Structure formats: C-alpha cells, structure tokens
C-alpha cells in the first residue's frame, strides 16, 4: 500500500497602485548678470550671481501678494556690494542689519555716479520676472565690487547707504571679487522666479 500525502499551502500576494500625488513648491530665487565695460567700450568681464532671497523679502512679497490691499511698490532699487569689510551675505539680512557687508557707491569704494538704480520690470511670464533693461552704473573710482542687492517697499530709497525699505535679495560673485576703475561701466541685469 502506498501512502499519499498532500501538504496544504496557501499563498497570497497583494499590491496597491495609487495615482501620483500632485505637488508644487515655490522657491524664490534670483540671478544677477553683471558686465563690466571698460572706457574703451570693450567687455572686461562678465559674471553671474545666484543670489539669496532674504527671508524678510519673501515675507513682504507673500503679505502683499496674498493679503495686501491697495499696495504700491516703492522702488525696487538696486545697489552694489563693496568688498570693504565683507564677511558674508545671509538670508537673515535686512536693510538695517547686514553686518557681513557694506554698500558700494557712497562711503565705500568703488563709487559710481548718481543714486541706486530703479528697477523697471517686464511682465511676469512662466513664473519669472526680469528687468526690462539692464541697470547702468558709471564707476567713478577704483575699487572692488563684491556683488549686488535689491531693496523695495515702504521707506525704500534710491539714496546710497540708506537703510530704509526691505531687502529682497543680495548676492556675491561665485568666482571672487571684481576690480573696477574710474571710467568703467557696470551693466546689471536681474531676474527672479518662484
């Protein structure tokens, strides 16, 4: 007689397929492009700055865009950052408190003619906004440029070294400081995106 046995086994497998969740993030960022043109009309150097969009600037942008009413933009005004006493640009910087850098143009070299330049914008497209034309700084002294900044909002001023307004962004050259001399012209473009 032959014994036959069957071992009972059970096997289960399951999987769940879900649709991909939609997600979107807004990350404020900006870019300065600066060309230095010598007195002879030739480009001496061209540099790009990927800037820090400061927390206080983000807050003002959100408050005015999402909760504001009858808001009128003051500025924005663009200034240059001097290499004098430079240590750092930080997201926590404000116009009244940016201990790591000083503004160029007035009390700190290099100097340039006129006031801070007023930013004029093209219409926003594809989540980005750019200046309608580059801002031009006529350099009037020898010095070293470290970077650039943009300030706007209540109490913002075109006056060099003024601490009013809200700091939107600040940034420095990734490749190091850039020397300029009297007679040079700096042509600065800026764009920002969310």
Please list, in sequence order, all residues whose beta carbon lies within 8 angstroms of the beta carbon of residue 183, skipping any fewer than 6 positions away: 38, 39, 139
Q: Report the chain's mean pLDDT, rounded to a whole number.
A: 89
DSSP collapsed to 3 states, 11-34: CCCCCCCCCCCCCCCCCCEEEEEE
pLDDT in tens, 143-178: 999 999 999 999 999 999 999 999 999 999 989 999
* 31: its two tokens: 């870019």
pLDDT in tens, 1-27: 555 555 555 555 666 555 555 555 667
CA dihedral 109→112→114→115, nearest 10 degrees, is -50
* In the chain, % of residues over pLDDT 90: 71
């Amino acid at each position: 007689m032959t014994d036959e046995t069957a071992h009972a086994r059970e096997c289960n497998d399951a999987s769940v397929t879900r649709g991909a969740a939609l997600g979107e993030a807004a990350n404020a960022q900006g870019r300065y492009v600066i060309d230095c043109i010598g007195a002879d009309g030739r480009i001496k150097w061209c540099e790009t700055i990927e800037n820090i969009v400061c927390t206080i600037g983000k807050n003002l942008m959100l408050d005015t865009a999402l909760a504001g009413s009858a808001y009128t933009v003051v500025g924005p005004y663009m200034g240059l950052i001097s290499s004098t006493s430079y240590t750092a640009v930080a997201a926590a910087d404000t116009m009244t408190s940016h201990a790591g850098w000083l503004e160029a143009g007035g009390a700190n070299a290099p100097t340039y003619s006129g006031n801070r330049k007023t930013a004029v914008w093209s219409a926003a497209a594809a989540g980005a906004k750019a200046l309608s034309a580059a801002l031009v700084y006529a350099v009037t002294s020898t010095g070293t440029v470290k970077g650039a900044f943009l300030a706007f909002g209540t109490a913002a001023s075109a006056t060099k070294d003024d601490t009013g307004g809200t700091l939107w962004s600040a940034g420095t050259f990734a490749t190091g400081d850039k020397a300029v001399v009297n007679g040079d012209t700096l042509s600065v473009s800026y764009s920002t995106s969310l």
